[in-house]
Amino acid sequence: MKQFGTIYKFELVSYLKNKIFAGVTVLLVALIVVVMCLPSILGDADDAGEDGAQQEMEQAEGQIDGLMLLSAEGVDHAEMFRQAFEEAFPDYEVGMTEDDIERLKERVSAGEAECAFVLHSATAYTYYVNNLGMYDPNTEIAEEVLSHVYQMQAMIDGGMEPELAGEVLSVEVSGEIESLGKNQMQNFFYTYIMIFALYMVILLYGQMVATNVATEKSSRAMELLITSAKPVSMMFGKVLASCTAGFFQLAAVFGSAILFYNLNKATWENNFIIASIFDMPISLLVYMLVFFVLGFLMYAFMFGAIGSTASKLEDINTSVMPVTLLFIAGFIVVMFSMSGGNVDTVLMKICSYVPFTSPMAMFARIAMGTVPGYAVAISIGILIASVVAVGMLSAKIYRVGVLLYGTTPKLGGILKVHWSTKIGHLNCIF
């Protein structure tokens, strides 16, 4: 235990004193502070410039701004369509025109008008716009207007009074939603953040663990360390130190986010996404921490073991590729299931019990679905047992990998050397 404590302390201090680690942490915290305070900053700027904006509006009064041309030549009840378009498009000045199609196109292309609607009939139109945006809601609004006017005119032609027809078409439907399980839309955002944070931390710190181990091996420092400390103490000390350093960084980032969100809560109260992220239930937060820690330890041990088998630092990226691809495959499965709105597929249920994917899959199912308590307990139990087993196996690989140089050894060769060493030790005893 003393050896573990010494190694753990040394590795943790080396992480915290690393200038890149400290710089990235400060940068992330500063970025979070700016983002959380941005609405307040912009709000003050808007208030300060309100008078100037008002003056500019007064100066621009009388000029045409946001002109929408409407051509309804040959269509019955053109005036009714004009009034309906004016009500539906309050940000535009709707102007009736009798220009032919070519002249109308010229006016839109020249910027005299932002857009134009040419009504061929009560239910058919052509929309002209110079640069069509990725999301242009004008056509959707226009289709609703045309449908509304057509239905009203049909009712009037059928003998219904215009006032009664207007009341029928403008009736409001009210309803309430009561979820007896989980609100997937509300829980989606912090589930996504947790899984994406786990993705980044595992790839970043797992790579750092593998690189540190490979650096020690290439400098022959590992050979000296392995003779003065047990492999289990060294492996667990390195991995837990990297885990602690990672949580220091995450605590600083998310802690500053929570602090400055509460300081600027009034400016974020109308933002559904941000509000849902910071309204995470305590029980879900506990599950998040459990799966986050266990998932990180699982992969960190694997990265550490692989780092001990690399003969050169340049071989790290190639060596860790299988583990990286395994994790990315699980990440993709969970992301597709979440995006599809169904986290209880057969594949997701299987992934919930596989230790390499359960930290993401089971947490997503808990957050966005209904999972029995015994299923969660089984998943966590399997994950804990797997972390301990992988940690012990990684320590054995670490012990043997120290002595193997040259060609990157395979797992079978490492285990063969390990058991040969064990048998030789027993022969010496007897």
pLDDT confidence of residue 381: 94
Structure confidence by residue, pLDDT tens digits, 371-399: 888 999 999 999 999 998 988 888 777 77
Mean pLDDT value of segment 299-313: 77
The whole-number pLDDT of residue 306 equals 80
Q: Which pLDDT does position 327 carry in this prediction?
A: 86
Q: Read off the pLDDT of residues 186-199 as tens digits, 9 standing for 90 and up.
A: 677 777 877 887 78
Mean per-residue pLDDT, 223-239 = 66
The number of helices, as runs of H, and strands, as runs of E, in the chain is 19, 4
DSSP run (H or E) holding 400: helix 373-401
The secondary structure of residue 67, as a DSSP letter, is: E
DSSP state of 90: T
**152 and 166 in contact (C-beta within 8 Å)?**
yes
d(CA 361, CA 132): 40
Let me know how long the chain is: 430
| Contact criterion met (CB below 8 Å) for 283 and 60 | no
Residue 385 pLDDT:
93
pLDDT digits (tens, 9 = 90+) for 155-167: 877 788 777 877 7
Residue 396: how many other CB atoms lie within 10 Å: 20
More confident residue, 52 or 369: 369
- Give the pLDDT of residue 338: 82
Average pLDDT score, the chain: 76
Burial status of residue 321 (CB atoms within 10 A of its CB: 0-12, 13-18, 19 or more): exposed
**Residues of the chain with pLDDT > 90: what percent?**
5
Q: Are 356 and 389 in contact (CB under 8 A)?
A: no
pLDDT at 117 > cutoff 80: yes
Residue 184 confidence (pLDDT): 66
Q: What is the pTM (predicted TM-score) of this model?
A: 0.63
